[in-house]
């Protein structure tokens, strides 16, 4: 394909990813591990990562939309797939036919799911989401009993699971909040039992909760393995969890080289005049590829194994790098995330410098940047 010839690419180490998933599987046991591959596996490629995760011992997969679930099914992946978050009822028939598990937290959603299941002639698999303090989506704790009774009374609803989402598990010093959420979730599960419904699967733990030991492994529970499986710590102050391996590299080849004099500046706004004569290398990556336009202020790039700062504002399709007096040629490799000649820049380093988290850094890398998967 023409895209494969582009001088910018993402390299995904599926071997490292599989080893990370295996670490989570061991740490979570006897809880099952479901790999989170939503948002194109956080920019790493949903289908290849899903297959690698299942081979590494994951029992199921989590996505964010019906379309993401159908992509896995179209690729021939038959493992359990949970769609996190309630979806438009118009999508229920396709989801039920593909045997995707769907999230619900309202009576009307359960009714629409039941109707779709009856039309398809197969029960709809349901996971009830409970809002224990995140206050984004989910049923209020006082609503749980009625919803559980509705699930228990409908033969077209297969009430497989019940779950919640922690708000601050990735923030040290706020364990009391996470403990309170977990206690509220356990109360909700007991309410389900009193209403006549006993979900087979329970889940609350994300990567942060598992890594910090906030939720112990137990039969019938699931750990949703997301950011840690990609070798990125949920806490952006650290690079990767101890014992985990980085998975993604973002690379480009130098597409243009110029020599500029002290006092000259490059790119829109001419915002960073050179303090000495310097060689400026252009990379064919810009904010349409997922770089932030203001990355020039703090972020760095590896060229020739050395850290280089941006020479000016990141543009839509290109960015310029100050290489000083070091030799650089068209075609030389630059590494924006990853390792080169013993030096390394991580996704969380970019996150720290940009005031965000590693999730956003990798998810932002657009699909026009070709992915290369290596074993």
What distance in Å separates the CA atoms of residue 247 and residue 339, rounded to the nearest whole number? 11
Q: Give burial (CB, 10 Å; 0-12/13-18/19+) of 218.
A: exposed
Give the active site residue among 17, 230, 268, 287: 268
Q: How far apart are CA 48 and CA 12, in angstroms?
A: 10
Compute the distance between CA of residue 102 and CA of residue 33 in angstroms, rounded to an integer: 18
Alpha helices in the chain (DSSP H): 14-28, 38-42, 46-55, 66-74, 92-97, 107-120, 144-153, 175-194, 207-211, 347-354, 358-363
298 and 309 Cβ atoms separated by less than 8 Å: no
Tell me if residue 359 is catalytic.
no
Q: Are 365 and 290 in contact (CB under 8 A)?
A: yes
Q: Any catalytic annotation for residue 42?
A: no
Alpha helix (H) ranges present in 200-308?
Answer: 207-211
Helix axis angle, 14-28 relative to 46-55, nearest 10°?
A: 50
Q: What is the sign, positive or negative, of the torsion defined by CA atoms of 121, 125, 131, 135?
A: negative
Catalytic residue among 17, 38, 42, 359: 38
- The sign one gets for the Cα dihedral 61, 65, 70, 71 is negative
Catalytic residues: 38, 268
């Amino acid at each position: 394909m023409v895209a494969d010839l582009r001088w910018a690419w993402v390299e995904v180490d599926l071997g490292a990813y599989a080893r990370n998933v295996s670490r989570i599987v061991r740490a979570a046991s006897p809880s099952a591990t479901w790999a989170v591959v939503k948002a194109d596996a956080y920019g790493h490629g949903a289908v290849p990562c899903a297959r690698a995760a299942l081979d590494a011992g994951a029992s199921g997969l989590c996505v964010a939309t019906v379309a993401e679930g159908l992509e896995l099914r179209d690729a021939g992946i038959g493992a359990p797939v949970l769609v996190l978050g309630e979806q438009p009822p118009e999508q229920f028939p396709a989801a039920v036919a593909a045997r995707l598990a769907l999230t619900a937290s309202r009576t009307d959603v359960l009714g629409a799911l039941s109707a779709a299941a009856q039309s398809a002639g197969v029960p709809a698999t349901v996971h009830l989401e409970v809002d224990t303090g995140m206050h984004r989506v989910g049923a209020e704790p006082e609503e749980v009993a009625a919803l559980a009774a509705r699930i228990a009374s409908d033969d077209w609803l297969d009430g497989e699971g019940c779950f919640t989402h922690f708000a601050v598990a990735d923030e040290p010093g706020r364990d009391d909040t996470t403990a309170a959420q977990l206690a509220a979730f356990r109360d909700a599960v007991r309410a389900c039992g009193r209403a006549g419904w006993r979900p087979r699967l329970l889940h609350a733990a994300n990567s942060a909760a598992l890594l910090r030991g906030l939720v112990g492994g137990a039969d019938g529970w699931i750990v949703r393995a997301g950011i840690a499986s990609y070798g990125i710590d949920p806490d952006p102050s650290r690079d990767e969890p101890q014992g985990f391996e980085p998975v993604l590299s973002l690379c480009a080849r130098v597409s243009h080289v110029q020599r500029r004099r002290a006092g000259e500046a490059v790119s829109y706004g001419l915002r960073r005049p050179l303090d000495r004569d310097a060689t400026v290398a252009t990379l064919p990556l810009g904010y349409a590829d997922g770089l932030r336009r203001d990355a020039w202020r703090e972020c760095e790039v590896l060229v020739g194994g050395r850290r280089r700062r941006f020479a000016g504002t990141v543009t839509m399709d290109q960015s310029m790098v100050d290489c000083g007096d070091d030799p650089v040629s068209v075609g030389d490799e630059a590494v924006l995330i990853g390792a080169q000649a013993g030096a390394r820049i991580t996704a969380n380093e970019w996150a720290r410098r940009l005031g965000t988290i590693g999730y956003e850094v990798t998810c932002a890398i657009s699909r026009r940047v070709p992915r290369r998967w290596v074993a």
